[in-house]
Chain A
Amino acid sequence: MDDNFQPLIIALCCNWCSYAGADLAGVSRSQYPPSIRIVRVMCSGMVHPNLVIDAFTKGADGVLMCGCHPGDCHYQEGNLRAEKRAEAIKLMLADFGIEEERFRLEWVSAAEGPRFAQVVREFTDQVRQLGVSPYKS
């Protein structure tokens, strides 16, 4: 493993809980590696599986999808739809020759700033173990 390898991870965060959780990580000054680029979506249920696959084939080392905890969804159950799609995404990843561990779905509430940072740290380590994306030219 290359110790200097800083993975580039796309994070898709829902506006109501996990994006707010990322904000609270900032307010709480919880430090995490500068590996993620957050794309704000209104709901995790909005993320089309093709967006995730596209991110990988364009060279993302990892994709993190974050939504509200079950029961907390601002749109009743968009997060549960995302959960189902995550299963489908994992199956698709295999077809594209991408390790399943490069993708992760996490629930982060608006009150879980430090946890958001923890998730990013852990996932970054995990992706770092896997090395550079096979799609990176």
Chain B
Amino acid sequence: MRSEESQAPPVGAALVVGGGIGGMQAALDLANGGIKVYLAEKGPAIGGVMAQLDKTFPTNDCAMCTMAPRLVEIGRHKDIDILTLTEVERVAGQPGNFTVSLKQQPRFIDATKCTGCGACTTECPVTMPSEFDQGLAPRKAIYRPFPQAVPNIFTISRRGNSPCEAGCPIHQSGQGYVTLIAQGRFDEALQVILRDNPIPSICGRICTHPCTAACTRNSVDDPVNLPALKRFITDRFSNYKLPQATVPDRPEKIAIVGSGPAGLLCAYQLRQKGYGTTIFEALPVAGGMLAAGIPSFRLPRPLLNAELDRLRAIGIEILLDAPVGRSITFDELRKSYAAVFVAIGAHVERRLGIPGEDLPGVTGGVEFLRRVNLSGRVAPGQHVLVVGGGNSALDAARAALRCGAAEVTIVYRRTPAEMPADHREIEDAEREGVKLMFLAAPKSFHAGPGGRVAGLECTKMKLGRPDASGRPAPEPIPGSEFVIPCDAVVATIGQVPDVNSLGERLGLTTTKSGTLRADPQTLETELPGVFAGGDCVTGPDVVVTAMLAGKKAANSIDRWLNGRNLRVAREMEGPYHTAYTVDTAGVLMQRQVPVQALDPKTRGRTFAEVHVGYTQEEAVAEAKRCLACGICCDCHLCQTACQANAIDYAQTQQTRELKVGAIVLAPGFEIFDARLKKDLGYGRFPNVLTSLEFERILSASGPYSGHVRRPFDQQEPKRIAFLQCVGSRDFERDYCSSVCCMYATKEAIIAKEHLGEGLQCDVFFMDIRAFGKGFEQYYRRAQELDVRYIRTRVPKIEEVPGSRNLIVNYLGENDRKLSQEYDLVVLSVGMQPPKDAKVLAERFGVALNKFNFCGTTTFQPAETSREGIFVAGPFAEPKDIPETVMQASAAAAEVLSLLREARGTMITPKVYPLEREVKGEEPRVGVFVCHCGTNIAGVVNVPEVVEYAKTLPNVVFADNNLYTCSNDTQDRIKEKIAEHNLNRVVVASCTPRTHEPLFRNTMAEAGLNPYLFEMANIRDQCSWVHMHEPEKATQKSKDLVRMALAKARLLEPLHRQAVSVEKSALVIGGGLSGMTAALSLARQGFDVHLVEKEKELGGNLRHIHYLLNGDLPLDELARLRDEVAHHSKIHLFTGAAIEKIDGSIGNFKTMITANGETTEVTHGVVIVATGAKQYQPKEYLYGQDDSVITQRDLEARLASGGDFLAGNGIQPAKTVVMIQCVGSRDADHPYCSRLCCAEAIKNALKIKARSPQTNVYVLYRDIRTYGFKESYYTKARQQGVVFVRYDENRKPEVLRNGQGLKVSVYDQTLGMPIMISADMVVLSAGIHPHEENRKIAQFLKVPLNSEGFFLEAHMKLRPVDFMTDGVFLCGLAHSPKSIDESILQAQAASARAASVLVQDRLELGANISQVVDENCDGCAYCVDTCPYKAITLLEYKWQGAIKKVVETNDSTCKGCGCCQATCPKKGVFIRGFTLEEIEAQIHAALGVE
């Protein structure tokens, strides 16, 4: 209840955390109860673990079949907002008024645009293990976890840019083209490269590739050879073209001064934006340093020219021999062009500044290389010295060698480690014969006889302290001068821009180091509209840095011309480090594939290209080394594939705040990490699986389409072992996971269904805990199917080399060491709290218990420690689906009570325009045929189908749509309905199961009855299943449209009938469950008639004095009785009997007799809480011997002092023997009573607490202390309670022997009979249903199971509902259960009931049966066949004769149509599925009218 101090009115909204089955149930119950729901799910879709399951026990129902309709219901619910990829950061405020801070991860898909068509997945090149399939099958980086996922939209697994992309100054998507190369998709790889780089064949050769420095593989072995891969692609497609601008041309023209890489990139980027670009180049060749500086053995000239031609081909003008300042003045340039980018490079030689530098034979590197590159071979001399250590020095040296020099030596003043040149270049040069001399600094040039240089005097150096560059500064060694003889010297110690020729003359300022001054971020100069970048600003740098400058300049110029801010959102320009790290643990070492090169002996004399590049095989092998760091490789292929334009790579993490009145936590559980049990081999032995993995293998939608195979060799297993209690019931986890025994049994049964009964399935277990409804029978069925159960805990598994089969070692009976071989071992892994349980607890401010599950209490089992925050599902305790669903509904009930004042304040009303009358109108049908992107149109000829549709009768309009389900198309459909006065609509697209409601809603919004609508499923039934037969798929699509039309023409408007709702409830039974349900409804504000047959309230609870955990239930009983008695909304009938119940949901009428008076009450719902009773034993001398009592008797005695232990005047009991399963798990009562094991342990511990010396024996078959009760079992054993296991076929015997009792039992564990002298024998009597259940069942037309307990609508998902609407179930009447479970189910029933009671009027289904009175002759065949008993036979007199006719009950009919198919006279039909309508479809399919 709400705190008194909170003043503000409560918020009519709730947050549900976790989108598994528990969260889904809570969300539905809340939304249907009038509370707005935010359903926050961490993953991309709701569904949780249940979506991964194949079948469910004990009915073997298909999990997805039962769950999918519920997923759809939530996805469409107007009052449920599903917030995926969302986690809660903080919760502030108090019950009724919480403020919740949420963090939402980007999906990289615009959820409002994605139609879930899936076209993107076929394009995506990145595959990774599917989480949904537990890693047994792959998925794409762009994915939807499973086909039925809600929301039905895709997600991209994307960490962000890959390190290579981030490290590249121009952000070339390295991972993108590498991934595509690995898959042989070379065309697409080229397109990815061209997206960011217009000169890739140049970069593939001479770029220094900072991407490889950033490659994650550096930490494993070698980086991926990105340059060689890029070159492989450009070599492969030597005739590729650059993409043309996709925007219209703009009037502005931009002048670019200099045709080096900076200028070229700038021109390219601007051209793509539609600008005209002219490049002014001073030299007679284009390319700047690419042409003048880099020798052709590294960059063949035809390639360079081809790249330049491609740029010219897209409209970039390059003027040669056009030095600005001479051919055109700078002022003219600024006047004629909208903006100018100055990128003149650095072509002026830096001088050594030592004597003799002007001697003939001494040249600068720039000059020498330019001469070689522009004029061909120019020999500098025979003995050439090259001064310097950069790439230019290497180029000059290798070029000199190729020009014919006999000997070339590089002179460098430091050591090899400090050389700035690329190490590969140094190696290549050495291989070719270039010599290197280190620690020698030039001092002066010596002239020879002809006045030409003949020697270089150098000083020997040593390394000193680091200088400004961070490298050790060379220091001269005094007196160490020496002369190196030579006939030519090339000095390559750097370049500076030619600022004199341009810079200052143009009014641009320069820096001290002789470069142009420009803003480092925007590249603006001091002159408006003039930008500068590249080497002329930075000084000499590598090609890709210049390219970045060009790209930045283009961005700045575009912004400047459009008046946009030049500085915002530019942080990510240029290289950066990724924020995430990639785990390389387990990555196998695999060295880089070497690039083949020409023979160094001969290549050093020619200008042929040194490296020959990868072959296709080499390239693919190298590309496969990529670690896919970013997951999404940024290839953008999905963007091309997505015709809905839904891909949005720019999405970022979002935060938001919500106001809610209450919170339900249902974050689920984690499966135990089986790798922690090292001896079981999981993770090492491929044929050891977890149960969840095996579940996927069994599933028809799983990795092997339901064929049971082992992952290792895809062979069908012949022997499977299931190992129980892996990660449960051990030292660290002293609790039972409650579900494993049954799921292992289920998996064994289903595996046998798949592979035949010959499959050997052995379950290794400690106790079989088949304690739930129908579980014991299921366990017996498994045994009948020859599933073997072996009672032992398996300590170790070994693998057989070769076959990789598995040896299970275990101790058999009598401690014999045994081992068995299996093909497959399945580990029944336990449930653990969510990994982030502690974080969750902290964020929500709730307490955890000692196992890190969310703590709850016996009497408030859905409440956390923080008021206003509730819990559901395995986060509270390991539990099965129905218990989760019940707790979720219970939590919803608590929220509905808390927020009752705000109920209905935040839900969305839906208002439709008045419906147009179409009766008597000729059908006017509009047909909308969907392309579904390419999903349909890629196979089916959609225009042809449209043209065909136009020829069909009554079609007045037909057209096609790209996506018929998109929002804009809904508007279009409405327009067309109005424009053409349509009165029927046919959509030919996908499945009505998911999309019919959407289109029906559109109909209603257009003022047409929503049932005048029909769909043709041409995607799922044509284009997707006949992909290789486009003509036949088109023909079939036409047929399906014709069929849909045939039905549409016959459709009549249907209306959902509404009945008023009596806003009160009848609760039958005044025990714990009945009282709880009644109070829960009363607290929500509904009137309740509570009927109890006995004189006082309390039921079985009256006999329970204390609980296992020490709680005292009688105090709670008193509190409940008091509240019930005084609650104004509860009308109590005690000592009462129900005489009759009539009516149906919304309007029941019940006759109650109490104290001789009969009252009639009306109510909208019924909750059955009739309870159950304790078995009266007939065995073990019960009733014949006073010392043989039941647990209930024992408890009463212990509660009243336990005199029999103390011996106050009587002989104290020295030995107490308890016998389990009395009236349970036998032929007459083939079910487990669930509670007796815990009750026995409770009383045994009580005895031990009172009288430690008393011997207590518990004779049991399986100890079923599920969940947290397990720790009390452990405690009992620690305290010396002796547990003796007996077999069903060798039951104990109790004999009266003189003064004492003797109990004889065959101890299965010891393998021998034992005899115990007992002072007291305590029978754990089972729980049996009341005989009166039958009467109530008949009143309500609800079923009982074979044992006599009430049977719910669905054992997993509808545990408190009946098939009959408006009737709900809780407590022991459903099946045996504990106090907290009874409370939960009672609260759950109240939430379910509330969803009916909050409605003023109840809408019934439209597709229900209708009787044709004139055809019905009252034969009544339909009456028996109706599964819902919705049909009654009426007899009446008419014109003197007795007439018979049937009548259907609209509120109980579900529309299955069994009546229609049974009737011989066409006397009853289902609206919307009439015989005529079905027949019309069949006739249309067969082409007959």
B1482 touches A51 (CB 8 A): yes
In the assembled complex, the Cα of A133 lies from the Cα of B54 at a distance in Å of 40
Extra contacts, 15 of them, besides A71-B61, A72-B65, A81-B1461 (Cβ < 8 A), are A10-B1485, A26-B1020, A26-B1021, A27-B1024, A31-B1025, A34-B1035, A46-B1470, A48-B1461, A48-B1463, A49-B1461, A51-B1475, A55-B1486, A58-B1483, A78-B1456, A111-B64
Are B1019 and A46 interface neighbours, CB within 8 A? no
Q: A45-B1461, A46-B1458 are in contact. Are A51 and B1478 (CB under 8 A)?
A: yes
Q: How far is the CA of A71 from the CA of B1035 in the complex (A)?
A: 37
Q: Chain B 699-710, CB within 8 Å of chain A: the 1/0 string?
A: 111000110000
Given A31-B1027, A46-B1456, A76-B1363, answer yes or no on A20-B1035 (Cβ-Cβ < 8 Å).
no
B1040 touches A37 (CB 8 A): yes
A27 touches B1407 (CB 8 A): no
Q: Across the interface, which residues of A come within 8 angstroms of B61, CB to CB?
A: 71-72
Name the distance in Å between A86's Cβ and chain B's nearest Cβ. Answer: 11
Say which residue of A25, A48, A111 sits within 8 Å of B1020 (CB atoms).
Answer: A25
**Within the assembled complex, what's the spacing in Å between the Cα atoms of A37 and B1039?**
8
Q: Which A residues lie within 8 Å of B1475 (CB)?
A: 48, 50-51
B1025 in contact with A45 (CB, 8 Å): no
Residues of chain A within 8 A of B54, CB atoms compared? 111
Contact string against B for A residues 65-91, beta-carbon threshold 8 Å, 1 for contact and 0 otherwise? 000110110111110011001000000
The 4 closest A-B pairs by CB, nearest first: A46-B1457, A26-B1020, A75-B1456, A37-B1485
Q: CB-CB < 8 A to A117: which residues of B?
A: 1025
Distance in angstroms between the alpha carbons of A12 and B1475 in the assembled complex = 13
Report Cα–Cα, A42/B1469, bound state, in Å.
12
Chain B residues numbered 1003-1032 whose CB sits less than 8 Å from any CB in chain A: 1017, 1019-1022, 1024-1029, 1032
What number of residue pairs across chains A and B have CB atoms under 8 A from each other? Answer: 174
Q: Interface 1/0s, chain A 7-46, versus B by CB < 8 A?
A: 0101010011101101111111111111001111111011
> B68 contacts the other chain (Cβ, under 8 Å)?
yes
B1460's partner among A8, A48, A76 (CB-CB below 8 A) is A48
Docked Cα-Cα span, A17 to B1318, in Å, equals: 59
Known contacts A20-B68, A111-B64, A113-B701; decide if A34 and B1026 are in contact (CB<8 Å): yes
Complex contacts, A81 vs chain B, CB 8 Å: 1425, 1458, 1461-1462
Contact yes or no, A23 B1457, CB < 8 A: no
Query: Do A27 and B1027 contact each other (CB < 8 Å), given the known contacts A46-B1458, A58-B1482?
Result: no
- In the complex, the answer to whether A114 meets B1026 with C-beta atoms within 8 Å is no
Of the candidates B706, B1017, B1029, B1454, the one whose C-beta lies within 8 Å of that of A38 is B1017
Which residues of B are interface residues toward A (Cβ below 8 A)?
A: 54, 59-62, 64-65, 68-69, 118, 147, 699-701, 705-706, 991-993, 1017, 1019-1022, 1024-1029, 1032-1033, 1035-1036, 1039-1040, 1043, 1363, 1407, 1425, 1427-1428, 1454-1458, 1460-1463, 1470, 1473, 1475, 1478-1479, 1481-1483, 1485-1488
Q: Does A131 contact B (CB under 8 A)?
A: no
Expressed in whole angstroms, the minimum distance between the Cβ of B683 and any Cβ of chain A is 29
B1353 (CB) vs chain A CBs: closest residue: A76
Q: A49-B1461, A75-B1427 are in contact. Are A24 and B1456 (CB under 8 A)?
A: no
Q: CB-nearest residue of chain A relative to B1024?
A: A26
CB distance from A29 to the nearest CB of B (A): 6
A112 to B55, CA, bound (A): 12
Q: Is the CB of A16 within 8 A of B65?
A: yes
Chain A residues, Cβ within 8 Å of B993:
15, 19-20, 23
Tell whether A59 is near chain B: CB-to-CB under 8 Å.
Answer: yes
Q: Does A60 make an interface contact (CB < 8 A)?
A: yes
Q: A54 and B1479 in contact (CB under 8 A), knowing A24-B147, A42-B1470, A59-B1488?
A: yes
Q: State how many angstroms separate the Cβ of A101 from the closest Cβ of chain B.
A: 19
Shortest beta-carbon distance from A127 to chain B in Å: 14
> Which residues of chain A are near B1024, meaning CB under 8 Å?
25-27, 29
Q: How far is the CA of A29 from the CA of B1168 in the complex (A)?
A: 47
Q: Is the CB of B1486 within 8 A of A59?
A: yes
Considering the complex, give the chain B residue whose CB is closest to the CB of A36: B1021
Cα A28 to Cα B1155 in complex, Å, equals 65
A-B contact pairs, 23 of them (CB 8 A): A16-B65, A20-B65, A23-B1017, A26-B1024, A29-B1025, A29-B1027, A37-B1036, A38-B1021, A39-B1485, A41-B1478, A45-B1457, A46-B1457, A49-B1461, A50-B1475, A58-B1483, A60-B1485, A60-B1486, A76-B1428, A85-B1461, A110-B64, A110-B68, A114-B700, A115-B700
A111-B60 Cα distance, complex, nearest whole Å: 13
- Residues on the A chain within 8 Å of B1456, using CB: 42-43, 45-46, 74-75, 78
> Which chain A residue shows the least CB distance to B1482?
A55
* Residue A98 at the chain B interface, CB threshold 8 Å: no
State how many angstroms separate the Cβ of B1149 from the closest Cβ of chain A. 26
Complex: A6 Cα to B1457 Cα, angstroms: 32
Q: How far is the CB of A12 from chain B (nearest CB, A)?
A: 8
Q: Is the CB of A39 within 8 A of B1478?
A: yes
Most chain A beta-carbon neighbours within 10 Å: one of B1017, B1026, B1486: B1486
Question: Across the interface, which residues of A come within 8 angstroms of B1461, CB to CB?
Answer: 45-49, 81-82, 85
Given known A-B contacts A43-B1456, A46-B1458, A23 and B1427 have beta carbons under 8 A apart: no
Contact A111 B62 (CB under 8 A): yes
Is there contact, CB below 8 Å, between B62 and A34? Answer: no
Residues in A whose Cβ lies below 8 Å from that of B1457: 41-43, 45-46, 78
CB distance from A41 to the nearest CB of B (A): 6
Contacts of A30 in B (CB 8 A): 1025
Do B1021 and A22 touch (CB < 8 A)? Answer: yes
Which of A15, A48, A72 meets B62, CB within 8 Å? A72
Q: Nearest B residue to A8 by beta-carbon distance? A: B1486
Contacts of B1460 in A (CB 8 A): 46, 48
Bound: A41/B1427 CA distance, A:
17
Assess whether A75 is in contact with B1454, with CB atoms less than 8 Å apart.
yes
Bound-state Cα–Cα, A121 to B62, Å: 24
Shortest C-beta distance, A30 to chain B (Å), equals 7
Interface contact A77-B992, CB-CB below 8 Å = no
Distance, CA A54 to CA B1029, complexed state (A): 30
Which residues of A sit under 8 angstroms from B64, Cβ to Cβ?
A: 110-111
| Most B C-beta atoms less than 10 A away, residue of A33, A60, A72 | A72
Chain A residues contacting B1478 (CB-CB under 8 Å) are 12, 39, 41, 47, 51
- Closest A residue to B1047 by CB, please name it: A39
B65/A54 in contact, CB under 8 A: no
Q: In the complex, which residues of chain A have a beta carbon less than 8 angstroms from the beta carbon of B65?
A: 16-17, 20, 68, 72, 109-111
Contact A39 B1482 (CB under 8 A): yes
Once A20-B993, A58-B1483 are accepted as A-B contacts, the answer to whether A71 and B1032 lie under 8 Å apart by CB is no
B80 to chain A, nearest CB (A): 22
CA distance A72 to B69 in the complex (A): 14
In the complex, which residues of chain A have a beta carbon less than 8 angstroms from the beta carbon of B62? 17, 69, 72, 109-111
A26 touches B1486 (CB 8 A): no
Closest residue to B1407 on the A side, CB-wise? A42
Which residue, A15, A17, A75, has most C-beta atoms of chain B within 10 A?
A: A75
A38 neighbours in B (Cβ, 8 Å)? 1017, 1021
Residues of B within 8 A of A69 (CB): 62
Shortest Cβ distance from A14 into B: residue: B1456
CA distance in complex: A59, B1484 (Å)? 12
On whether the beta carbons of A78 and B1458 are closer than 8 Å, the reply is yes
Chain A residues lying within 8 Å of B147, measured Cβ to Cβ, are 24, 27-28
User: Do A71 and B59 touch across chains, with their CB atoms under 8 A apart?
Assistant: yes
Q: Return chain A residues, CB-CB under 8 Å to B701.
A: 24, 28, 111, 113
B699:A111 contact, CB within 8 angstroms: yes
Q: Is the CB of B1020 within 8 A of A27?
A: yes
B1203 to chain A, nearest CB (A): 54
In the complex, what's the smallest C-beta–C-beta distance from B359 to chain A, in angstroms?
A: 78
List, in ascending order, chain B residues with CB within 8 A of A10's CB: 1482, 1485-1486
- Distance between Cα atoms of A28 and B699 in the complex (Å): 14
Whether B1032 and A77, one on each chain, are in contact in the complex, defined by CB atoms closer than 8 angstroms, is no
Beta-carbon nearest neighbor of A41 in chain B: B1473
- B1043 near A39 with CB under 8 A, answer yes
